């Protein structure tokens, strides 16, 4: 099959290499040509870590038309900031009934469905995963290290009637994928905002001085920071309960995904081997993504449904103070998700049936 990968950061190069080593034709797009120049020159992508090999990348370009024309599916690995820009740039060139799979959705399906209607491309299917199935670190352009592969990753689809077709296409390539009931699950199961934001805030001085060598998870976690993570996660679980979704705590997800051991969030993160020594690239950019597309929509939906979210809101406000970004104004809220004025039953109906 032919796949277009949009975004050539650590996630994009990891996914491109993984799909290519599994025998598929892969094309790679990045907005800035510098990051993909070594791959364009050699046609190869070096993969090291738990998977090793030289992956052949069939076409590399900063012209999106060259990459997405005549492909079976589009794999979006770019950060949430770029999802709308990339989808809008693709729509004129995509074949009918193309699947756009967004790795780490951050509410992508609900955010972008209005764009498909605007361009009269409701034939396009948007799928999203909870998280990236691989743990990737870019060593340099053209060389990505894959230090771990998650054992389970949820995928959900909008409109939901097309879910089984999407799963049949990707399930054999990524056997760790399992099909969720709706895109509320994939967005609310994403634990990145719950973990990243408090670790970054309470290690702000270290990140400002040593972000290029700061082991984000192992060096950044402490028993008290783990308690902050638990407090935010408790509010996430309250929202999940109100929506009657079958999801688990961050602590249980880490145990399930990585087989790590421990009785507390602190112990589980400290004992997680794939996280050991991991340096989060450009952590402040990740935190902004987690706030704008993770914690703000969660808090906004809590407000809509009358659920207290004191810890989450406190974290958002703290970052708004230190980062000079108005997260409450710029973040994704229920109006951008298309659920403003709905109750929990109506939100779930939209996500599970595609109908309001």
Same domain (yes/no): 158, 259 = no
* Predicted local confidence at residue 51, as pLDDT: 92
- Of the chain, the percentage scoring pLDDT greater than 70 comes to 99
Please give the span between the terminal C-alpha atoms of the chain, in angstroms, as a whole number: 35
Same domain (yes/no): 56, 171 = yes
pLDDT at 356 over 80: no
What are the DSSP E strand ranges found in 25-129? 25-29, 44-49, 53-56, 59-61, 73-76, 99-102, 125-129
Structure tokens at 134: 């691989």
Average pLDDT over residues 108-131: 95
Same domain (yes/no): 170, 198 = no
d(CA 131, CA 233): 17
Place of tokens 């650590």: 10
Residues in contact with 351: Cβ distance below 8 Å, sequence separation at least 6, in sequence order: 110, 158, 160, 182, 183, 184
pLDDT band for 243, please (50, 70, 90 cuts). very high
- Domain end, chosen from 188, 219, 254, is at 188
Same domain (yes/no): 181, 196 = no
Structure tokens at 302: 């809590």
pLDDT band for 150, please (50, 70, 90 cuts). confident
- Domain end, chosen from 188, 212, 241, is at 188
Task: Note whether residue 35 is domain-resident.
Answer: yes
Same domain (yes/no): 66, 147 = yes
pLDDT at 148 over 90: no
Same domain (yes/no): 44, 182 = yes
Q: Residue 147 is part of a domain; what is its CATH number?
A: 3.40.50.720
Please provide the average confidence, as pLDDT, over all residues in the chain. Answer: 95
- Of the chain, the percentage scoring pLDDT greater than 90 comes to 89
Same domain (yes/no): 195, 336 = yes
pLDDT at 183 over 90: yes
pLDDT at 211 over 90: no
* Predicted local confidence at residue 317, as pLDDT: 95
Task: Note whether residue 85 is domain-resident.
Answer: yes
* Contact present, 347 and 184 (Cβ < 8 Å): yes
> Which segment of 25-29, 32-36, 121-125, 334-338 scores lowest on mean pLDDT?
32-36
Task: Note whether residue 356 is domain-resident.
Answer: no
Average pLDDT over residues 78-93: 96
Same domain (yes/no): 121, 205 = no
Distances (CA, A) of 35 to 31, 124, 142, 145, 258: 9, 29, 8, 16, 30
Same domain (yes/no): 53, 179 = yes
pLDDT at 177 over 70: yes
Structure tokens at 25: 């034709």
Q: Which is more confident, 108 or 324? A: 108
pLDDT, tens digit, 9 for 90 and up, residues 266-289:
999 999 988 888 888 889 999 999
* Predicted local confidence at residue 137, as pLDDT: 87
Q: Other C-beta atoms within 10 Å of 246: how many?
A: 8
Q: Residue 276 is part of a domain; what is its CATH number?
A: 1.10.1040.10
pLDDT at 59 over 80: yes
* Predicted local confidence at residue 274, as pLDDT: 82
d(CA 143, CA 145): 7
Same domain (yes/no): 231, 104 = no
Average pLDDT over residues 297-317: 98
Q: Model's pTM, two decimal places? A: 0.92
d(CA 188, CA 233): 10
Q: Which of 151, 174, 339, 336 is nearest to 243 (CA)?
A: 339
Average pLDDT over residues 159-163: 94
H helices of 177-249, where? 183-189, 192-202, 204-210, 216-220, 223-242
Same domain (yes/no): 223, 196 = yes
Q: Which domain holds residue 226?
A: 191-350
- Domain end, chosen from 155, 188, 221, is at 188
Average pLDDT over residues 40-51: 94
Q: Looking at the 3D structure of the chain, how many domains does it have?
A: 2
Most confident segment among 146-155, 277-286, 339-348 = 339-348
Q: Which is more confident, 69 or 276? A: 69
Task: Note whether residue 227 is domain-resident.
Answer: yes
Same domain (yes/no): 10, 44 = yes
Reported as type and span, the H/E element at residue 134 is: strand 134-140
């Amino acid at each position: 099959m032919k796949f277009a990968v949009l975004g050539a950061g650590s996630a994009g190069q990891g996914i491109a290499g993984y799909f290519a080593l599994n025998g598929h034709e892969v094309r790679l797009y990045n907005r800035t040509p510098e990051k993909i120049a070594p791959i364009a020159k050699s046609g190869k992508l070096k993969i090291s870590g738990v998977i090793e090999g030289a992956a052949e990348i069939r076409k590399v370009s900063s012209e999106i038309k060259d990459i997405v024309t005549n492909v079976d599916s589009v794999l979006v690995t770019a950060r949430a900031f770029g999802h709308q820009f990339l989808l809008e740039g693709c729509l004129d060139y995509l074949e009918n009934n193309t699947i756009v799979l967004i790795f780490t959705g951050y509410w992508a399906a609900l955010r972008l469905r209005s764009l498909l209607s605007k361009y009269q491309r409701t034939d396009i299917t948007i799928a999203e995963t909870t998280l990236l199935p691989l743990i990737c670190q870019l060593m340099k352009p053209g060389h990505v290290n894959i230090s771990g592969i998650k054992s389970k990753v949820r995928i959900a689809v909008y409109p939901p009637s097309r879910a089984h077709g999407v799963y049949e296409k990707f399930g054999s390539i990524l056997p760790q994928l399992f099909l969720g009931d709706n895109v509320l699950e994939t967005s609310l199961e994403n634990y990145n905002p719950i973990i990243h934001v408090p670790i970054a805030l309470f290690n702000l001085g270290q990140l400002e001085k040593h972000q290029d060598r700061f082991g984000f998870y192992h060096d950044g976690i402490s028993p008290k920071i783990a308690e902050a993570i638990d407090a935010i996660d408790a509010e996430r679980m309250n929202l999940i309960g109100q929506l009657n979704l079958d999801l688990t705590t961050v602590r249980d997800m880490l145990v399930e995904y990585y087989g790590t051991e421990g009785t507390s969030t602190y112990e589980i993160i400290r004992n997680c081997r794939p996280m050991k020594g991991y340096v989060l690239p450009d952590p402040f950019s990740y935190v902004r993504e987690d706030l704008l597309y993770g914690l703000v929509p969660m808090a906004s939906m809590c407000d809509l449904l009358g659920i207290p979210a004191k810890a989450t809101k406190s974290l958002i406000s703290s970052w708004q103070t230190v980062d000079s970004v108005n997260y409450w104004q710029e973040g994704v809220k229920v109006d951008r998700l298309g659920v403003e004025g709905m109750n929990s039953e109506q939100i779930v109906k939209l996500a599970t049936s595609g109908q309001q």
